[in-house]
Amino acid sequence: MFRSLLTSRLRSAFAAAQIDVPVDFDVAVTLAADTRFGDYQSNAAMMLARQLKTNPRALAQSVADKLDVADICEKVGIDGPGFLNFTVGKEALAGKLAAIRADEHLDVMRVEQPQTIVIDFSAPNIAKPMHVGHIRSTIIGDCLARVAAFAGHKVITDNHIGDWGTQFGMILHGWKTMLDHEALMRDPIHELVRCYKLVNAAAKNDDAVMNTCREELVRLQQGDVENLGIWRKCVELSLSQLRGIYSRLDIRFDHFLGESFYNDRLAPLVDELLAAGVARESDGAICIFFEDIPELADKPCIIRKSDGGFLYATTDLATIDHRIREWQADQVWYVVGAPQSLHFQQIFAASRKRGQRARMSHIAFGSILGPDGKMFKTRSGESVGLLEVLDEAIARARAVVAEREGFSDGEKDAIADVIGIGAVKYAELSQHRMTDYKFSWDKMLSLQGNTAPYLINAFVRTRSIFRKLDGQAVLTDDITITDPAERALAMKLAQLSETVHDVLVDFRPNLLANYLYELANAYHAFYEACPVLRSEGSVRNTRLVLCDATSRVLQTGLGLLGIKTTERM
């Protein structure tokens, strides 16, 4: 990719100019902030001159004199106080386009050192309402898994379902006293949540109910056959419904190792940590202390309560062991809402204290707000679940598609599915993950603006050209870029590789979404300015290659966001 090529050439130029670059100084080339001056820029000479207290323009000039980029750039400028600006040459761009044309992987660079990355996302809790945080986690986690795999990593996805915990005391009581078996078969998640909510409310006002729930829980934990049977049924039914939802979303997990999977490992783990001196007793509880970490100095991680019970953190430590020992994880990514930040700081610190080297990242996100800026609710006024959101998105997309002519009902259903699900995912992924975003049906389903329907429609337009050619297009490497709109589009296409890698730096799918939006805009501008089918020879071939590459980059890029495309809409 141009950026990394230019970066390494620039580094060599600093060396050739005999400028001492401090080890921690980053000689970086970035995308140009303003494309009037070039395609890429670097402020390295300027920043270094500041450190060395010399004249920045003079330093930039001496670097530029040694810069060997004739095969990439047609111009290198020194602008302002010492910016280096690089303009990619037409031949290099044509070469890149030819490489994209010939490569199924769209000439996207693969990482030099692939890592085994375990991605922990979605992880709803059985028999507790799924909240918007789970929706965000599901969509962001899936996207990151796809991008990391595309970049060349080995990715293992693991859904750490909350299938064990105090909620089961209430569920067991609810199951025995108020369960509607028919409703359970129809929509298990909904029926279990209904019971949970009712019992929860009753227990608040009535100590007797609370006590019964507690007793049910203790019996479950002690292995009571009846309660274990009910628990297993709850998990099975919910999981099978969840699998259905994931399959509609086209999201797959390599593993569904819920919290209960680790139950037998908790006691030995705590013993091991005690023996190793990592944990110690404090007021009857077993804790891991982090005296050496200022932010955590007064926030020990409790791993066994004084009553002998284990905690969420204990399970997570056992989970880390499994992922490192069984899967050889080099990295573990947790896509979980920001409120759990302290929890992850603690278990990451505990893992380091044990000498584990895997790199752990908590990938947090903000919340989703309704159009009114308050907590997001569905039409029925309930707090939202994934299922409700999907159904409503598809229904709304179906209503829009209903007016179209030339499609059978089956085709309309299929298109509504692609658009509805794509719209929900895109609304999520096109935002910076930390911002609270406003959920707006009209905006996300609009054909205009930075939306899934807009991008899918851009893809449809690229395809319609090839449909008109009816398989008659034979593309070659005879590429000559002349028109500015062609150049702008080619440059965008060339930047897919950089974008894919940038997404992983700080876990930001929105960089890819925005890239695709800009690509679609560049395509529309090109389409207005440059006739394709009415052109001839090399010009026609170049334009068809541009259309084909745009089509594939849009399809692959949307695919990395977990969004499907359709040939017509």
Residue nearer to ligand ARG on the CB measure, 319 or 495: 319
Residues 313-332 that bind ligand ARG (CB under 6 A): 316, 319
42, β-bridge pairs: 84
Among positive and negative, which fits the CA dihedral 55, 57, 61, 67? Answer: positive
| CB 256 to ligand ARG: min, Å | 12
Residue nearer to ligand ARG on the CB measure, 185 or 338: 338
Residue nearer to ligand ARG on the CB measure, 268 or 339: 339
| CB 123 to ligand ARG: min, Å | 4
Q: What is the DSSP string of 403-437?
A: T-SS--HHHHHHHHHHHHHHHHHHHHHTS-TTS-E
The phi-psi region of residue 11 (left if phi > 0; otherwise alpha if psi is between -120 and 50; otherwise beta) is: alpha
x/- mask, ligand ARG, residues 142-181, rule CB under 6 A, reads ------------------x-x-------------------
The residue behind tokens 């982090």 is 290
Closest CA to 455 of 312, 348, 313, 555: 555
| CB 140 to ligand ARG: min, Å | 13
- What would the two tokens of residue 131 be? 């909240």
Contacting residue, 2, 168, 253, 334, with ligand ARG by CB under 6 A: 334
SS (H, E, C) 453-479: HHHHHHHHHHHHHHHHHCCCCCCCCCC
x/- mask, ligand ARG, residues 95-134, rule CB under 6 A, reads -------------------------x--x-x---------
Residue nearer to ligand ARG on the CB measure, 65 or 326: 326
- What would the two tokens of residue 59 be? 């330093």
**CB of 349 within 8 A of CB of 356?**
no
In this structure, what is the dihedral angle of CA atoms 206, 212, 216, 221, given to the nearest 10 degrees? 80
Residue nearer to ligand ARG on the CB measure, 61 or 200: 200
| CB 137 to ligand ARG: min, Å | 8
- What would the two tokens of residue 80 be? 């302002």
- What would the two tokens of residue 201 be? 């409310």
Residue nearer to ligand ARG on the CB measure, 123 or 419: 123
Q: What gap in Å lies between CA 136 and CA 140, rounded to an integer?
A: 6
| CB 201 to ligand ARG: min, Å | 21
Helix (H, G, I), strand (E, B), or coil: what is residue 519? Answer: helix
Residue nearer to ligand ARG on the CB measure, 162 or 509: 162
| CB 382 to ligand ARG: min, Å | 18
Residue nearer to ligand ARG on the CB measure, 336 or 560: 336
The residue behind tokens 């979404």 is 513
| CB 242 to ligand ARG: min, Å | 12
| CB 65 to ligand ARG: min, Å | 54
Q: What gap in Å lies between CA 202 and CA 499, rounded to an integer?
A: 52
| CB 554 to ligand ARG: min, Å | 33
In this structure, what is the dihedral angle of CA atoms 61, 62, 63, 64, given to the nearest 10 degrees? 50
Contacting residue, 336, 387, 390, 456, with ligand ARG by CB under 6 A: 336
DSSP type of residue 448: S
Residue nearer to ligand ARG on the CB measure, 327 or 459: 327
Considering the rule CB under 6 A, would residue 227 count as an interface residue with ligand ARG? no
Residues 367-396 that bind ligand ARG (CB under 6 A): none
Residue nearer to ligand ARG on the CB measure, 290 or 333: 333
| Percent helix / strand / coil, the chain, rounded to 5 | 55, 10, 35
How buried is residue 335: exposed, middle or buried, by Cβ count under 10 Å (0-12/13-18/19+)? buried
* Positions that interact with ligand ARG (CB under 6 A): 120, 123, 125, 160, 162, 316, 319, 334, 336
